[in-house]
Amino acid sequence: MLGYIGLGTRHYGDHPTQPMTRTLWEFQAVVDGYAAPLVPDDMHPRLHEHTMWVFAPNQLHGWTGRPRVGCRVLVAQFDQVPDTLREYVTEHGPLKAKLGQDRAIELYHMIKEVLPDYEYPTGLSNMRFDRLLLELSLSALKDVPMTESITPEKESHRKVAHAMSWYSENLMSNPSVEDVAHAVHISPSHLRRLFNQAESRSPISMFKQIQIKRAKELMSRTNIPLRDVAKACGFSEQSIFSRCFKLQTGLTPRNWKLLNRKEQTIAGPGVVEGA
């Protein structure tokens, strides 16, 4: 949650802010002019332009600048920040990020745009604050080396999930393994390896499971004819659908539908769509 935002000219050189702690995470950037944080170990720091600093709660700091010359700054304080930024600042201490003039001005205007939300919040205000926090955090971390956070195992599961999701969305056209592989930007052979690694099953086997699951949903919730169920699930003919369904479940679609309706009757009345 956004706790404070501020914009404008500060005369840190003539009126330094002595080191003190804050209860919130603080982003402060120099848009024009020069400034730098004061910390107990460095009370005469080198001044910087177009630079942003990030301090965690309770990190002791103040601010200084050039005498007789003001600097234009932006300030934003939040009760929490993204995990990557929090972990870095907690481990390494305050973060300094060189912005460049264009980015500094861009962030300044972003804060200026959310000032009305800060003063008079609406139902959209928190989303705008979240967007501002994300932009500030990305700018702060842009030059920080990042280690690989996705393991090969996680990447396999992610690609498989993407493939299954795409197949489900395009089920009616009965996509081939090659179609799915092309859609998720890998080769068919690589897709097969990923399914084997993540699920110990082939893509075709998993896709058939999606087809049968969808068929069960349609037969449970609607009264559409079986030929239309077959078409909606990517089968070119009802007979092919029936053979595949019986192979997967041990029942024909018609018998499964009758058994399912008996179970629903025992469980209680429900709403049937598409009657």
Q: Which amino acid is at 271?
A: V
**In the chain, at which residue ranges do the beta strands (DSSP E only) sit?**
2-10, 17-20, 25-32, 35-38, 51-55, 61-65, 71-78, 95-98
- What is the per-residue pLDDT for 97? 96
Domain of residue 204: give its range. 152-267
- What is the per-residue pLDDT for 91? 87
Query: Which residues of the chain fall short of a pLDDT of 70?
Result: 147-151, 264-275
**Same domain, yes or no: 35 and 110:** yes
3 state SS of 211? helix
**Same domain, yes or no: 83 and 210:** no
Phi first, then psi: give them for residue 177, nearest 5 degrees: -60, -40
**Same domain, yes or no: 120 and 243:** no
**Same domain, yes or no: 168 and 71:** no
Residue 146 lies in a domain: no
Structurally, the chain folds into a number of domains equal to 2
**Contact status, residue 137 vs residue 82, Cβ threshold 8 Å:** yes
Q: What is the pLDDT of residues 109-135, one digit of tens each?
A: 999 999 999 999 898 999 999 999 999
- What is the per-residue pLDDT for 223? 87
Domain CATH code at residue 130: 2.60.120.280
